[in-house]
Structure 1
Amino acid sequence: MPEATESEALPTVLIVDDEKEVADAYALRLRGLCDVQTVYDGSSALELLEAEEIDVVLLDRHMPGLSGDEVLAELDERDYYGRVIMITAIDPGFDVLDMPFDDYLCKPVEREDVRTAVEHQCSILGYETLGEYFAVEAKRSVLEAELPASELEAHDEYADLKRRGNQLRRRARRLLDDPRDLFETFDAVGREGR
């Protein structure tokens, strides 16, 4: 995962746990690795996830009100584009087979295990994002090579494609260790007709 300079953003992590001390301890463990936000209930988590781009969610299963399982189901319904790590004292049973999380840590969790799990999920999301970026940019590149600029500027879907490409590129840079070589190699491929 990237070491951020002042001008670069870090991956974003949301910690959701009703035990304030536990959530705050995880936030301390992740200091310097990512930008961390902490909420103490499921409803607040869903509100924040609706408003902001969060890369990884650390989610407790057992919470009053909206449980972690319910939050997870809602994220699945919303097609949340990020990674979810369940981090809980509930021992897993066969119910986890149908749950759409990406990792599961049983409390108590060692400091380095939390950091490593977050790093892994950020890398996975980074490469998924990079793959989507390359697909979007291949379309943009071929359109720019084959169509006049005036036609492109008047096309709403092209503008959306361009915005999406920029968003994906920023996110991949935030999540991956120096992906410049990957971007340069991709950009060097000739996609225009002869």
Structure 2
Amino acid sequence: MSNRHSPDEPSAPEYLLDSVSLLSKKWHPAVVRCLADSDGLGYSDIEDRLDGVSAKVLTDALEELQEYEIIEREELSQSPLRVNYTLTGRGKELDGIIDSLADWGETYLRNPDTEQVVLVADDDERFLTMHEAWLEDDYTVRTASDGEEALGSLDTDVGVVVLDRRMPGLSGEQVLDWIRTQGYDIRVVMVTAEEPNLDVLEINFDEYLTKPVLKDELRDVVADLFERREYGSQIQEYLALRSKQALLEAERSPQTLEESEEYQRLQERIDDLDATSEDIEAADPETLERITLQRQQ
């Protein structure tokens, strides 16, 4: 028997079209998601949470969702009139579907302006492939096998660069200098097999990782650097300097650091920022804790 539809038959099951029609109404999924995050809400509470919805549209949406037994309305009092809306069992099931649709849309329909792009630059093919694989589930990842290719891959869409410090030809440090001179709003994690020395004080990176880098370590740092892009310039500088401080304290003896004028200037700048910037108080404490702990490991 043929499974082909006749020209007069719909190309999709009837109930699928009904479901799409219900969910395509702008405020219906929003009401379901709103109620899913609560133990029940009154009419005014829902109206307050759904910015931009008119009273008539909200009333119509609530009535239709009640008709389909997706939500239920309980009258708490008559004078004054107080009602409470909650999801039914089928409403909770529908919320799971809406949540899955939202995840799908975020993955495949995301506006390029909100896309998070990471550039991984490393002349070692093993590290390049491995770091790309660790990040590609959460970010759009570009790769470059040398400094020249890295420069060709850079634009304003890139938010974070995972940059090998030592590459033949144009080094990672030279690529970093170019990024800073161009004024790009890009956070950079320098990755290298070399043990850090006091010369890192002259390099304008945000984070510094020593190979071999662990998967969770790299993922945590990249996520943190995307968050830092939302901070002001003072707190970005403060976090970068704190990273350098923790890095050197983990790798160099206290006596070596005490004798370094560059390190003393670093500490003085950190103290100045800590004392003058109110924004630092708003920094995620987990970020500061991670910077310290990763150097102690």
Which TM-score band (shorter chain)?
Answer: 0.5 to 0.7
Partner of residue 158, structure 2 = 54
Residue 22 (1) aligns with residue 127 (2):
yes
Residue 12 (1) aligns with residue 122 (2):
no
Distance 1:34 1:45 in 2: 17
Partner of residue 188, structure 2 = 84
Q: Which amino acid aligns with 2:119?
A: L
Superposition deviation, residue 18 in structure 1: 0.3
CA offsets 1:136-191 (integer angstroms, 9 cap, x no match): xxxxxxxxxxxxxxxxxxxxxxxxxxxxxxxxxxxxxxxxxxxxxxxxxxxxxxxx
Question: Structure 1 residue runs of 4+, over 3 Å off?
Answer: 126-129
Q: Given the superposition, is the C-alpha separation of residues 91 and 38 from structure 1 closer, same or farther in structure 2, using an over 3 Å criterion?
A: same
Distance 1:39 1:97 in 2: 26
CA offsets 1:104-144 (integer angstroms, 9 cap, x no match): 00000110001000000011113459xxxxxxxxxxxxxxx
CA offsets 1:78-115 (integer angstroms, 9 cap, x no match): 11211000011121111111211100000001100010
Residue 123 (1) aligns with residue 210 (2):
no
Partner of residue 42, structure 1 = 147
- Residue aligned with 1:123, SS: helix
TM-score (norm 1): 0.61
Distance 1:88 1:29 in 2: 17
- Residue aligned with 1:5, SS: helix
- Residue aligned with 2:230, SS: helix
- Residue aligned with 1:33, SS: coil
Q: Which amino acid aligns with 1:6?
A: Y
Structure whose CA Rg is larger? 2
Q: Would you say the 8 A contact 2:179–2:186 is kept in 1?
A: no
Partner of residue 110, structure 1 = 214
- Residue aligned with 2:204, SS: coil
CA offsets 1:27-79 (integer angstroms, 9 cap, x no match): 001121111011100011112114x5200000001110001111111112111
Distance 1:89 1:124 in 2: 25
Q: Which amino acid aligns with 1:27?
A: E
- Residue aligned with 2:201, SS: helix
**Ranges in structure 1 where 5+ consecutive residues have no aligned partner:** 130-194
Q: Given the superposition, is the C-alpha separation of residues 94 and 67 from structure 1 closer, same or farther in structure 2, using an over 3 Å criterion?
A: same
Distance 2:179 2:167 in 1: 16
Sequence identity, in percent?
37
